[in-house]
C-alpha cells in the first residue's frame, strides 16, 4: 500500500497548521509513519519559489504568472517530497495544495478556471489528494486569528493576507464550491470552534473514510503512481 495523501485547505487563520500537527500526533501514536509538508514549498527548490511569491515579488507579473509559479513549485514538491514518501507507505499531510491555486488565483484572482484545470492535469495527474479537509469559518474570525498570531510572532502581512475582505469572501465561497463539486474527495470541517472540537471533527472524518483511503492507496500501487 502507498501512504495516504491528505491535504488541508482553507482561508486565512483557519487553523490548518494547528490541526495538521494534532493529526500527525494521533497517527504517529497509532504507529503510522507521517510527514508534514506545505505549499508553496515543501522541497528546497519549491521553498525558494515560496519566498519569492510570498514577498510579493511575482505580483507585478499578474495572477496567471503567479499560478504558474505555484505550479512550478508544486511540480518539484511532488517529485522530491510527496511521491517518494507515498511510495514508501508514509502518509503525507500537506498544508495547502492545488485547491489553493483554484481558490486564490482562480476564483479570487480571476485566472480562467479551465487554464488552471489544464495545468493541474499536467502537473498533478494521478497524484490528487485522497482526502482534502477544508477548514471553514467566517472570514472575520479567520483574519482575527491571523492578526493575533502575527502580533504574537512579530510577523508581517504577506502578499495574500494583505488582500481586502471581498477577496477573502470569494475565497471562502470558492472552497465551498470545490467541496460541493468533489464530495468524494473533500470534507468541509466547521473550524469556528475550539481546537479540541475541530480536532475531533477531523478525526471523525478520517475514520469515516478509512476504507476509501485504503482502497485509493491500493489503486495507486496498481497504477504505479
Ligand atoms: N497560496 C496561493 O495563493 N496559491 C497556492 O496555490 C498556494 C498558496 C499553495 C501561504 O501562506 C499563502 O500562499 C496563502 C495562500 C497562498 N495565503 N496567505 N496568506 P502561509 O503558508 O504562510 O499561511 P497560510 O497557509 O495562509 O496559513 P494561515 O491561514 O495563516 O494559518 P493556518 O495554518 O490556517 O492557521 P494556524 O497557524 O494553525 O492558526 C492561526 C492562529 O489561530 C494561531 O495563532 C493559532 O494558535 C490560532 N488558532 C488555531 N486554531 C484555533 C481555534 N480553533 N480557535 C482559536 N484560535 C485558533
Domain coordinates in residue numbering, the chain: 5-222
Is residue 225 over pLDDT 70?
no
pLDDT at 224: 62
Using DSSP, state whether 59 is helix, strand or coil.
Answer: helix
- Which atom of ligand 1 is the closest one to the Cα of 198? 53
Lowest-pLDDT range of 45-59, 60-74, 147-161, 172-186: 147-161
What DSSP line would sit under 118-130, residue for residue? HHHHHHTTT---S
Q: What is the mean pLDDT of residues 41-70?
A: 97
Q: Looking at residues 143-158, what average pLDDT do you find? A: 87
Whether residue 165 has pLDDT greater than 80: yes
DSSP string spanning 152-191? HHTPPP-TTTTS-HHHHHHHHHHHHHHHHH-TTTEEEEE-
Q: Going by CA atoms, what residue is nearest to atom 41 of ligand 1? A: 145
In terms of DSSP bridges, do strands 131-136 and 91-95 run parallel, antiparallel, or are they unpaired?
unpaired
pLDDT tens digits, residue range 82-138?
A: 999 999 999 999 999 999 999 999 988 899 999 999 999 999 999 999 999 999 999
DSSP state of 61: G
In the prediction, which pLDDT does 33 show? 96
Mutate to test the pocket of ligand 1, among 7, 10, 16, 42 (most ligand atoms within 8 A of CB): 16
Give the global pTM: 0.96
CATH 1.10.3720.10: does it fit domain 5-222? no
Amino acid at each position: 500500500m502507498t501512504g495516504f495523501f491528505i491535504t488541508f485547505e482553507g482561508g486565512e487563520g483557519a487553523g490548518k497548521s494547528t490541526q495538521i500537527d494534532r493529526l500527525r500526533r494521533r497517527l504517529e501514536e497509532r504507529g503510522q509513519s507521517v510527514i508534514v509538508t506545505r505549499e508553496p514549498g515543501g522541497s528546497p527548490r519549491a521553498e525558494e519559489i515560496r519566498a519569492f511569491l510570498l514577498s510579493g515579488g511575482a505580483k507585478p507579473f499578474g495572477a496567471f504568472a503567479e499560478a504558474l509559479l505555484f505550479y512550478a513549485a508544486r511540480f518539484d514538491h511532488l517529485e522530491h517530497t510527496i511521491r517518494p514518501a507515498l511510495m514508501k507507505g508514509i502518509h503525507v499531510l500537506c498544508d495547502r495544495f492545488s485547491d489553493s491555486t483554484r481558490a486564490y488565483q482562480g476564483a479570487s484572482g480571476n485566472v480562467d478556471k479551465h487554464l488552471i484545470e489544464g495545468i493541474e492535469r499536467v502537473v498533478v495527474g494521478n497524484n490528487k489528494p485522497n482526502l482534502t479537509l477544508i477548514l471553514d469559518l467566517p472570514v472575520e474570525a479567520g483574519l482575527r486569528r491571523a492578526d493575533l498570531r502575527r502580533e504574537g510572532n512579530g510577523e508581517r502581512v504577506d502578499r495574500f493576507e494583505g488582500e481586502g475582505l471581498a477577496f477573502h469572501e470569494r475565497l471562502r465561497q470558492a472552497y465551498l464550491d470545490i467541496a460541493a463539486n468533489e464530495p468524494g474527495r473533500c470534507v468541509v470541517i466547521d473550524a469556528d470552534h475550539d481546537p479540541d472540537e475541530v480536532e475531533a471533527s477531523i478525526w471523525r472524518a478520517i475514520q469515516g473514510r478509512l476504507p476509501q483511503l485504503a482502497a485509493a492507496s491500493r489503486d495507486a500501487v496498481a497504477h504505479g503512481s
